[in-house]
């Protein structure tokens, strides 16, 4: 099958795409048949996107930086894995029209954009997309996290919210709990979750269901074990972009987000949400 041209204007966008926050996993996610099936089933139930915009925990650069708008090599931003993980490819079409829209929507004092035309998708983007859209036939663009400040990222998401009405699937890609120093990768994917991971997972599930946005934004003070679950907050930060995209410019709460994936992987919470 021939992949469609980038930003194919013949695709009719749905009325509004959902926005996602997902736990993306490391490259060995590809070997976890349960998780890969969960991601594949999730994407199969979504409307067909006209394009995908990814904000990954693995790219921090200010101001918001726009990655390659053409198909360039992936960024294998991990070390010490078997060689086969460095042979994965994901030649999704570029999304130059989407990049133009991102520039326009973020053209405001205190925001703005920068260009990184040779930077490909990193593993926070392509690892889940290989499972969700394996044909690599949806135009895809990645942008950076310009900051880790929750309220600024919420505003970035709000400014990007109109993209959903154009059929763009906005994905914040992180990990719901992320402390690699306190897990044992030798214990297997189904090892029981440590208390700090389980407690944080329960808290964020309840808090998002209640649409307590202020508590989520202030999670470092309101969540149990926050400093342990996220000793550095870059893997939680993409959630704030997704949340802002879901709320939109009017800060309007829709239905509470739905958990699309749950459970733990090597003790880390892989909980992922879909925002209507």
User: Are 170 and 53 within 8 A, CB to CB?
Assistant: yes
Question: Of 41, 57, 43, which Cα lies nearest the Cα of 242?
Answer: 57
| Mean pLDDT, residues 193-215 | 96
The answer, yes or no, to whether residue 251 has pLDDT greater than 90, is: no
Reported as a single tens digit per residue, the pLDDT across 122-153 is: 999 999 999 999 999 999 999 999 999 999 99
Please tell me the predicted confidence (pLDDT) of residue 6. 45
Q: What are the pLDDT digits (tens) for 64-114?
A: 999 999 999 999 999 888 999 999 999 999 999 999 999 999 999 999 999
Is residue 63 pLDDT above 90, yes or no? yes
Find the mean pLDDT for residues 14-32: 90
Per cent of the chain over pLDDT 70 is 93
Q: What are the two backbone dihedrals, phi and then psi, of residue 275, each rounded to the nearest 5 degrees?
A: -100, 130
How does residue 250 score in pLDDT terms, banded at 50, 70 and 90? low
Residue 204 located in a structural domain: yes
Asked whether 46 and 129 are in contact (CB, 8 A), the reply is no
Q: Which of 28-37, 98-107, 184-193, 265-274 has the lowest mean pLDDT?
A: 184-193
pLDDT of residue 97: 98
8 in a structural domain: no
Nearest residue to 157 (alpha-carbon basis) of 21, 11, 8, 10: 21
pTM: 0.92
Distance between CA atoms of residues 270 and 131, nearest Å: 15
What pLDDT score does 8 carry?
47
Range of the domain at 194: 19-275
| Least confident residue range of 8-12, 50-54, 177-181, 264-268 | 8-12
Q: What is the mean pLDDT of residues 196-224?
A: 97
Beta bridge partners of 64: 113
Domain count, the chain: 1
What is the average pLDDT across 202-207? 98
Task: Determine which of 33-47, 200-214, 248-262 has the lowest per-residue pLDDT on average.
Answer: 248-262
Q: Decide if 225 is inside a domain.
A: yes
pLDDT at 5: 42
Q: Any idea what the CATH number is for the domain that residue 187 is in?
A: 3.40.830.10
Report if residue 146 sits inside a domain: yes
Domain assignment present for residue 7? The answer is no
DSSP code per residue over 183-242 = --GGG-TTPPPPHHHHHHHHHHHHHHHTT-HHHHHTHHHHSTTHHHH-SSGGGTTHHHHH
């Amino acid at each position: 099958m021939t992949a469609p041209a980038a930003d194919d204007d013949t695709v009719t966008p749905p009325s509004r795409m959902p926005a996602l926050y997902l736990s993306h996993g490391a490259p060995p996610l590809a070997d976890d048949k349960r998780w890969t099936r969960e991601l594949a089933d999730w994407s199969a139930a979504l409307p067909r996107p006209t394009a995908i915009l990814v904000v990954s925990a693995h790219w921090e650069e200010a101001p918001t930086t726009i990655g390659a708008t053409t198909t360039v090599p992936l960024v294998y931003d991990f070390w010490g894995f078997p060689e086969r993980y460095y042979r994965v490819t994901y030649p999704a079409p570029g999304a130059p029209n989407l990049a133009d829209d991102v520039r326009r929507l973020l053209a405001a004092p205190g925001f703005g954009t920068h260009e990184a035309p040779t930077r490909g998708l990193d593993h926070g983007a392509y690892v889940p997309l290989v499972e969700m859209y394996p044909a690599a036939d949806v135009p895809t663009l990645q942008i950076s996290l310009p900051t880790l400040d929750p309220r600024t990222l919420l505003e970035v998401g709000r400014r990007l919210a109109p993209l959903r009405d154009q059929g763009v699937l906005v994905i914040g890609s992180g990990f719901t709990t992320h402390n690699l120093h306190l897990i044992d990768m030798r214990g297997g994917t189904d090892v029981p979750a440590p208390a700090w991971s389980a407690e944080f997972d329960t808290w964020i599930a309840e808090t998002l269901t209640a649409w307590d946005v202020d508590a989520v934004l202030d999670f470092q003070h309101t969540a149990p074990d926050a400093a342990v679950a996220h000793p550095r907050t870059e893997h939680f930060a993409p959630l704030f972009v997704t949340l802002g995209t879901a709320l939109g410019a009017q800060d309007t709460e829709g239905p509470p987000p739905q958990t699309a994936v749950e459970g733990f992987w090597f003790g880390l919470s892989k909980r992922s949400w879909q925002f209507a």
